[in-house]
Amino acid sequence: MHVNLDSWYKTDVDKKKLKELSKRKDLPGLIHFFFYFLFLFAAGYLAYVTIGTWWTYLFFFIYGTVYAFSVANWHETVHRTAFKTRWINEFFYHISSFMCDFEGFRWRWSHTFHHSNTLQTEDDYDHEIQVSRPVELIAFFLNFIPLTDLLYPHKLIKYEVIKHAFGKFSPVIDITAPPKEKKKILWNSRLYVFIWLLVILYSIYIGSFLPIIYIILPTYIGKPIWFAVNVTQHLAAKIDTKDHRLSTYSVRINPLLSFLYWNMEFHLEHHMYPMVPSYNLKKLRKEIDDQLPKPFNSLFDFYKQVLPSVIALATNPNNYYKVKLSSDND
């Protein structure tokens, strides 16, 4: 995955240290996926055995939340930093891509583009801007309620996959992916749709909605916590700047969320040096800490500071959260 950051602000960092931090290993990734799927299957099992009680709603929500964080697994593998061995990375990449509906070929190219053009809105538009401007406040706050994505079916990522399966490609494909990739996107999208249809048909055959809940709906059930964490990456940040310190945030979160998020709370550090595996981002932070704005102390601290800017963006698309740099005190 080649990301062009030549024109972006750079921190001073020892090249030998950066090379060391950029080394990839297989073991951390294998350990992560082992415990991730253990957590996922445990929650799914508890949801199943408690059907008929109120506990099942809690466990299905936990299952959906863990499932929704498959985006973090997709993200680490799309950068090919999860594993040193390429085929292992690709194996888990395509599993994670299916789980979060991020069709593997389309999103690999668009995510590379996102890193090279973070929050750019002019010629090289960033198609991964999560919250559009001006902000639709009702739609924004609905993200914190389970299953509300289904109120806007035309905005679902699944809907895009279905369109691609029929050869109706989104504009982002022409902008970010080489023409030769279209055939891969087409057939991979058809594979996704085929699996979804099999799940639906199997649910009808056995007379149970459970396969759909376990495979097709979990990301919508568990979206609230994932969204609350993931949207902190660039929410209400400054657009059209070549300084990641102004367009990307880092936020301290608890160890459980950090595990599910695979350390992407160090998102500013990740955008500056996307070749560094997530398990080394904390070490990277120590190397360049004095050159970066302070991270938010918690999710509560983040929303307390940034939410007013989000609300202001509903009426003023030029508004943004103003990051305080250490140089501002000089």
Span 24-49, pLDDT tens digits: 999 999 999 999 999 999 999 999 99
DSSP assignment letter at 296? B
198 Cβ partners below 8 Å, 6+ apart?
none
Helix H or strand E segment including 193:
helix 182-206
Q: To the nearest whole number, what is the mean pLDDT of the chain?
A: 95
Q: Is 291 exposed, middle or buried (0-12, 13-18, 19+ CB in 10 A)?
A: middle
pLDDT at position 237: 96
pLDDT of 318 > 60? The answer is: yes
Q: How does pLDDT run across 185-200, given as a tens digit for each residue?
A: 999 999 999 999 999 9
- Binning pLDDT at 50, 70 and 90, where does residue 7 land? confident
Half-sphere exposure for 187 (CA within 13 Å, toward CB): 4
Interhelix angle 104-116/86-99, nearest 10 degrees: 100
Task: Taking residues 219-224, report their average pLDDT.
Answer: 97
Q: How does pLDDT run across 58-110, given as a tens digit for each residue?
A: 999 999 999 999 999 999 999 999 999 999 999 999 999 999 999 999 999 99
Task: Taking residues 137-162, report their average pLDDT.
Answer: 95
Distance between CA 76 and CA 30 in Å, rounded?
Answer: 12
Tokens representing 183 are 């055939």
Domain parsing of the chain, residue ranges = 22-235
Distance between CA 184 and CA 181 in Å, rounded?
Answer: 5
Question: DSSP states of 216-273 as a string?
Answer: TSHHHHSHHHHHHHHGGGTTTPPPS-S-HHHH---B---HHHHHHTTTTT-HHHHHH-
pLDDT at position 330: 45
- Binning pLDDT at 50, 70 and 90, where does residue 2 land? low
Q: Which residue has the higher pLDDT, 184 or 6?
A: 184
Amino acid present at 64: G
Distance between CA 216 and CA 20 in Å, rounded?
Answer: 40
pLDDT at position 244: 95
Distance from first CA to last CA of the chain, Å, rounded? 37
- Binning pLDDT at 50, 70 and 90, where does residue 130 land? confident
What is the three-class DSSP state of 55?
helix
Q: Is 51 exposed, middle or buried (0-12, 13-18, 19+ CB in 10 A)?
A: exposed
- Measured CA distances, 266 to 11, 39, 200, 229, 283 (Å): 15, 23, 38, 12, 10
pLDDT of 138 > 50? The answer is: yes
Q: Are 13 and 288 in contact (CB under 8 A)?
A: yes
Distance between CA 43 and CA 65 in Å, rounded?
Answer: 10
What is the three-class DSSP state of 19?
helix
Portion of the chain with pLDDT greater than 90, in percent: 89
Q: Are 177 and 109 in contact (CB under 8 A)?
A: yes
pLDDT of 255 > 80? The answer is: yes
- Binning pLDDT at 50, 70 and 90, where does residue 328 land? low
pLDDT of 329 > 60? The answer is: no
Distance between CA 99 and CA 214 in Å, rounded?
Answer: 11
Note every long-range contact of 14-22, with CB atoms under 8 Å and residues 24 or more positions apart, other chains counting: 14/287, 17/287, 18/273, 18/276, 18/284, 18/287, 21/273, 21/276, 21/277, 21/280, 21/283, 21/284, 21/287, 22/273, 22/275, 22/276, 22/277, 22/280
Q: Are 303 and 296 in contact (CB under 8 A)?
A: no
- Binning pLDDT at 50, 70 and 90, where does residue 128 land? confident
- Binning pLDDT at 50, 70 and 90, where does residue 226 land? very high
Asked whether the CA dihedral 198, 225, 270, 159 is positive or negative, the reply is positive
